[in-house]
Structure 1
C-alpha cells in the first residue's frame, strides 16, 4: 500500500531534532522525498542518514530562517533536488530561554530579546511561506503547515514574546489560507502542547509539575505524535482542510 505522501517532495525546517526530525522521518516513511533544513547542518545530515537508513531519500540543507537570502536558497535547493515542492513544514523556532526572556514580565523584556524571538518564530515562518508559495504557484498548488503552539491560542505569564509570536503565526496561517486558496495552496498550523524535546527541558525543569496539572492526559506529548498530525495535513486526505490550527496537546486547551 502506498504511503500518504507517495511521490511528493517535502521540505522541513528545524529538521535537526525534536518535532522537525520526527516529521522528516514521518514524511519519508509515508513515501515523500525530504529536504531536511536546519541552521545546524551536521545535525540535519544526521536526520538524512536516519531517513536513508530506513530506505528513504533525503537531502540536508543549511538554512537560518532569519536570513531571507538563505530561505530563498533553501527552497531553490529543495526544488533542485526533487523537481517540485509539494509539502512544506515551517517548524524552525526557538524557546524563550534561548533569548533570555523566559520568566520575564512583558514590560521588563529587553528589546533584543523581544525582537530575537519574533524574528525567528514569526518572521522566519513568513519568510519560508512566501518563498514556498512562489514555488507552489508555479507548479499549481501545494500544502504548507506552520508550527504555532498552544501558547498561540492562550496566554502564559513570563512568555510575552513567545506567546505574541505564536499568536501571530496562527493569524498568519488563517490569512494566508484565505489568500492562497484560489491558487490550490492549503495553509494550516499545528499547535503542539508540551512535547518531549530539548526546547522544553528548561521549562519542565522549572515548572513541569504545574504544567502537567493542567494536562488532562497527565503526560507530555512526543514529537512523533505531532508529526502524525502534520503528515495528515499535508496529505490529500486533508484536501478540504485549510486555515485550521490543530491542537495536539493532551487536552491542555480544553480546560
Structure 2
C-alpha cells in the first residue's frame, strides 16, 4: 500500500514529524517499508501562460510560443507538443531548471530559433502518466507559481507492508482512522452528498440465503461522462500513490 504523506495529513492533521509518523504506524501494526520523497530532483518549473504561438520557420512540427511566467519579459520557447495553444496554462521549465530524470534545461537554439525553457507534459514531471502533449493546468492558477507548490510535491510516499487481516487500511481514510486512534487527532471525513433512495424497479436484488448474506447493497449509476478529464491535482495524487 502506497500513499502520499500530505494526502494522509489532509485526512488526519497530526503534528507528528515524518519520522514519528513512520514509527507510530509501524508500532501500531502497519509496518512502514519505506519513506521516499515524491520529487527531490524537480525544481525551477513554474506555471506559464502561452500568450502567442506561431509556426517554426524551419520545422513543420514545431511551434514558437511566447510564454508569460510572471516576469517583466515573456519567454520564447520552441515546443513540439501538438496541443500547445494560446491561452493555455502549462508547466514551464525555466533555464537551469532540473527535471526528475536529471535533465537540466539550458538556453538553446532549436532549428535556428532561440528557446528559453521547456513546456512540459505530466510524465516529464513524473506527476502523471500522459505524455501525449502538454499538461493543461487550471485557469485559476497564478502565473509564475512553483509547480512543487501547485501539486504539493514537497511530500513523501509511504509504503506499507500490510498483513492480510488489515484490509481496512487499504485506503487513505482507513489509515486516517488508525492515525486518529494513535494520535488522538480527529480524522477529517469528506463530505458526501446523500443519495436519494433507489426505486425497487431500478435495481432488483434477490438474496437466496439471508443467513449467509444478511445484507447486499447495490447502486445504479446513470449519466456517467467518461470523456471528462480528472482534475490535475487528483491525477497527481493518484500517480504518486501508483493508482490507476
Both structures adopt the same fold (TM-score exceeding 0.5): no
TM-score by length of 2: 0.24
Higher strand share: 2
Higher helix share: 1
TM-score by length of 1: 0.23
Larger radius of gyration: 2
